[in-house]
Structures are given as structure tokens and as C-alpha cells.
């Protein structure tokens, strides 16, 4: 996110600099030479994908508009709802907050890569079993996030509510709720979502 912000600020400052080109022709040249379309190659759900995208294209838009992987949802487009969550190099991120050109060589997993209707991921099966959704709009992001959350706990990564930072994080209700707090469900399916994640984690909800 910091890198995305830096990239965005870089664009703004370049533009502002170029506007003052009366003082510097070199500055104007810098602005006009900035590439607007760039190639980027990334692995999406195990398949190498080569794209040429506008440098301002978010990873979310690259997935949805260029690769037509519409399972990943656009909710707020501002990093506030978690509907766009995907897993990049094993870590969950909000794909609306990062530029596609920043992910050359990265390994991206979307909901389509986790499972299919015929061969669902255990987390997808648990969401169905526990009724972890109503309209389903937040669900792909919830499931990608939930899969990554269990990986984070297994890796010993603490959260805001972890009491003892030197001990292994526990699979408590509070830990799951805190770690899933970036994924908003407007239908309020939260308790069912926690039940689904708990089942996959092998703990009572």
C-alpha cells in the first residue's frame, strides 16, 4: 500500500513539475515521456498471464477487466470493504489498493484458483455448509481472506488482539474476528462465517 501511495504521489508530483515547465524544459520532457502503457507478466491461478496495461490499472481491474476473472469483487474501490481480497505470494491483499504493474512475477490466487463448483476448496465447502453468506457479494473476498488467516496463524504471525507476542497465536474467536475485520459483510453473516472458518481450522465455533 505504501508503494502504491508512493507511486500515486510520484505521478502527481511529476505532473505538477511538468506544469512549471516554463522554468525547465527537462521537467516537461520527463512528464511527456512517462509510459502510460506497460507490459506486466504475472502468474494468476497457476497460469502465466502477459498483459499490457495502463500504468494506473489496479490489480483488481486487471483481474476483472483484462483477465475476466470476475469472482474478485469491487465493493468500495478504496481499501475499506475487503471484497477485492486476493492472495499474492501467499499473503492476502486488497487488490484495489495496488497497481497491476507492481506485481510482475508475482503469484496471484483468486477465488477461481481456490476451487471450482465441482472441486470446492474446504473453506468454500464450509461456507456453504454454515450458510456463511446471503447475497454472496463479499464472499469471494471473505474466503480468500479466511484461507490466508489460517495460514497467518499457522505461521505464528500475531494480530492486534494477540496477548502474548512470544507465544503461538491461538485460534480463538477473538483472533478470527479481529483478523477478518477488514472484510465487511453488509448482510451480516459474521457468526456463520466464523463457524465456517472454525470448522476448517478444526476448532469448535
Helix axes 139-154, 190-201, angle to 10 degrees: 40
| Closest to ligand FES by CB, 83 or 162 | 83
Q: How many positions of this chain bind ligand FES (CB under 6 A)?
A: 23
| Closest to ligand FES by CB, 85 or 162 | 85
Q: Is 83 in the site for ligand FES (CB under 6 A)?
A: yes
Q: Is 52 in the site for ligand FES (CB under 6 A)?
A: no
Which stretch, 6-14, 133-141, 149-157, 168-176, contacts ligand FES (CB under 6 A)?
133-141
Three-class HEC string of 121-134: CHHHHHHHHCCCCC
Q: Is 189 in the site for ligand FES (CB under 6 A)?
A: yes
Q: Is 74 in the site for ligand FES (CB under 6 A)?
A: yes
Nearest Cα to Cα of residue 38 among 97, 103, 83, 109: 103
Q: Is 81 in the site for ligand FES (CB under 6 A)?
A: yes
Q: For residues 133 and 139, is the Cβ–Cβ distance under 8 A?
A: yes
The rounded distance, in Å, linking the Cα atoms of 169 and 171 is 7
Contacting residues for 9 by C-beta, under 8 A, at least 6 apart: none
The rounded distance, in Å, linking the Cα atoms of 8 and 10 is 5
Least spacing, CB of residue 72 vs ligand FES, in Å? 9
Q: Is 137 in the site for ligand FES (CB under 6 A)?
A: yes
The rounded distance, in Å, linking the Cα atoms of 49 and 69 is 12
Per CB under 6 A, the list member of 31, 79, 115, 151 interacting with ligand FES is: 79
Which stretch, 82-90, 104-112, 145-153, 164-172, contacts ligand FES (CB under 6 A)?
82-90
Per CB under 6 A, the list member of 6, 19, 41, 80 interacting with ligand FES is: 80
| Closest to ligand FES by CB, 72 or 162 | 72
Q: What is the DSSP letter of 173?
A: H
Q: Is 77 in the site for ligand FES (CB under 6 A)?
A: yes
- On the 0-12 / 13-18 / 19+ scale of CB atoms within 10 A, 16 is exposed
- Binding residues (CB under 6 A) for ligand FES: these are 74-77, 79-84, 94, 96, 133-139, 185-187, 189
Amino acid at each position: 500500500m505504501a508503494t502504491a501511495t508512493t507511486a500515486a504521489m510520484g505521478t502527481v508530483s511529476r505532473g505538477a513539475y511538468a506544469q512549471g515547465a516554463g522554468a525547465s524544459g527537462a521537467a516537461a520532457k520527463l512528464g511527456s515521456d512517462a509510459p502510460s502503457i506497460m507490459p506486466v507478466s504475472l502468474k494468476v491461478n497457476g497460469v502465466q498471464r502477459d498483459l499490457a496495461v495502463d500504468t494506473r490499472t489496479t490489480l483488481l481491474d486487471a483481474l476483472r477487466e483484462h483477465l475476466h476473472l470476475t469472482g474478485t469483487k469491487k465493493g468500495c474501490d478504496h481499501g475499506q470493504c475487503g471484497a477485492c481480497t486476493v492472495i499474492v505470494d501467499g499473503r492476502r491483499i486488497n487488490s484495489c489498493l495496488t497497481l497491476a504493474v507492481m506485481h510482475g512475477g508475482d503469484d496471484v490466487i483468486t477465488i477461481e484458483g481456490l476451487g471450482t463448483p465441482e472441486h470446492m476448496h474446504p473453506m468454500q465447502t464450509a461456507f456453504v455448509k454454515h450458510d456463511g453468506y446471503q447475497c454472496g457479494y463479499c464472499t469471494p473476498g471473505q474466503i480468500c481472506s479466511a484461507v490466508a488467516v489460517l495460514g497467518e496463524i499457522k505461521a505464528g504471525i500475531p494480530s492486534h488482539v494477540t496477548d502474548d507476542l512470544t507465544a503461538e497465536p491461538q485460534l480463538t474467536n477473538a483472533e478470527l474476528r479481529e483478523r477478518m475485520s477488514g472484510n465487511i459483510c453488509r448482510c451480516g453473516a459474521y457468526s456463520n462465517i466464523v463457524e465456517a472458518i472454525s470448522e476448517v481450522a478444526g476448532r469448535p465455533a
